[in-house]
Structure 1
């Protein structure tokens, strides 16, 4: 097939500033921070770049505005080897914009102006792309309600052409975590990739392992990103956990999306569940070595080397 991976979802510029000491000060007070960057953002876009960096042939489907922000993200995707020939330009609505404020302990606040995200829909995903990829990944499920309502159909069509599928819902800003909307998609999703907080919200379970088990019973292999504890996966009755790498993070923005890219790339190369999870943890960890979501994404050789025991 022409593509190893089709990524469907969000792309926008990120303005990342920080770290902020203490709480944000309102009342028109100006606070100085050490770093400020204009970088490529959007969970789907960062995942696509990470997969291309790992050697996959990647196409992107989504929507941007006819504005400088849209031109910026298109150029950034192309520079990282992602095919944007099917990226739709909205003639009326602007490109989404996100401001990320980081803290010294690795936490962050995320403010997003959705722009054309709500207008993104199934018509932005051409049928020829669904039939031309070995794997289809979608992200930011709750930010794009029109696309979310049609994603089960899109995934089913991709599967009919022999593709596997994966989903990273990311956060739900509304806090509803609509299972009636999500459950039909999970029935045609091969891999679900939440972080621990998202897994708890989606499942109603308190512990990540219990959450993974509950979600896996709905059909997909569930891979949970568990921060400093590494990650865990549940496929049927098989459970696997891999510890985090000892990396001193510079910026954790986009680490989960790089993790997603590593897991999908490993599975497409035929690695088993444990080995794929180890590669994913390596990709997520190594991506934190520089500011922004894409600057430090590893190559396949770098990710594999990071999974090898020291001294080998």
Structure 2
């Protein structure tokens, strides 16, 4: 049996985020607008999740692809500085690192503009079999941004499970708004936890009611854990639903909150917490991450998350 080297292997997207705002609307016609805040921060759903998990005390490795450029060097250093192993972060010799611009509004909404760069070239060859064999849990993010990886993710997850790992997936948004499940349905059958937000759950399932959406997706096998913003979160196993409330905070920036939620849930389950406590810790991690600008600056430690979730034990 292969010795486990990592609590968590994260597969997916990593890029710099330029976050500016708040602004009520974009003025074209070469008009310049001034905003209160601007930050260059680490972005990518998978990367933010990896950092959140490392902050919570897990040993984390990242598998993905960046370009041979300044943006790639920036994200590599950002991941390393937060305790994420980037040994298996592939450098593409031709395609650039993805770049994302995020424009926030005063009411917590945001527009996201992404130049995909080498994301479309990210594939199963960027996930070495030996890395999968060394993990307790494997998580993948941004399913629809990486079509090459999406086509093979079922096989990647199946291989991870064969080595005893559990798996989770956060599809994130589909920029094409197609929500094509041709390659997703096989992945769901080898996914232990599906982690959409409420809008994504509805889009993936075709159901209007969130409870119905969660139950529909759970029929494929995974525990469905849905992030529902200020209304907290819900989990569905089979037909059974469990709900928890959000942790009240004064939000500064909601970018990456869902990814921090994912990290909290995975960390809690790997520490042996039951479903309710894991859901409560995850909601706390998502809420606490909004206390500062960018997706990683305010991610909590395990003790901070447990205190906010009002859990007395550390799991």
TM-score range, shorter chain: over 0.9
Q: Please state how far the C-alpha of 1:235 moved relative to its aligned partner.
A: 1.0
1:141 to 140, 143, 166: 143
2:14 corresponding residue in structure 1: 11
2:170 corresponding residue in structure 1: 168
1:35 corresponding residue in structure 2: 37
Q: Which sits farther off after the overlay, 95-104 or 176-185?
A: 176-185
- Secondary structure of the 2:226 match is strand
With the length of structure 2 as denominator, give the TM-score of the two structures. 0.97
2:5 corresponding residue in structure 1: 2
Aligned length: 309
1:308 to 296, 304, 310: 310
With the length of structure 1 as denominator, give the TM-score of the two structures. 0.98
CA offsets, 1:217-255, max 9 Å, x none? Answer: 111000000011000000123311001111110000000
2:198 corresponding residue in structure 1: 196
2:91 corresponding residue in structure 1: 89
2:157 to 155, 166, 169: 155
**Structure-2 change in CA distance of 1:148 and 1:273 (3 Å):** same
- What CA distance in whole angstroms lies between the structure 1 residues aligned with 2:268 and 2:311? 18
- What CA distance in whole angstroms lies between the structure 2 residues aligned with 1:53 and 1:309? 18
- Secondary structure of the 1:180 match is coil
1:79 corresponding residue in structure 2: 81
Q: Please state how far the C-alpha of 1:180 moved relative to its aligned partner.
A: 1.4
Q: Which runs of 5+ in 1 are unaligned?
A: none
Whether 1:292 aligns to 2:294 is yes
- Secondary structure of the 1:247 match is coil
- Secondary structure of the 2:269 match is helix
- Secondary structure of the 1:49 match is helix
- Secondary structure of the 1:184 match is helix
1:260 to 259, 262, 281: 262
Q: Which runs of 5+ in 2 are unaligned?
A: none
Q: Which sits farther off after the overlay, 61-70 or 227-236?
A: 227-236
- Secondary structure of the 1:112 match is strand
1:239 corresponding residue in structure 2: 241
1:208 to 184, 207, 210: 210
Q: Please state how far the C-alpha of 1:209 moved relative to its aligned partner.
A: 1.2
CA offsets, 1:49-94, max 9 Å, x none? Answer: 0000000000000000000000000000000000000100000000
Aligned structure 1 segments of 4 or more residues deviating by more than 2 angstroms: none
Q: Please state how far the C-alpha of 1:178 moved relative to its aligned partner.
A: 0.9
Within 5 A, what are the aligned runs for 1:88-107? 88-107=90-109
Q: Please state how far the C-alpha of 1:24 moved relative to its aligned partner.
A: 0.6
Q: Please state how far the C-alpha of 1:309 moved relative to its aligned partner.
A: 7.8
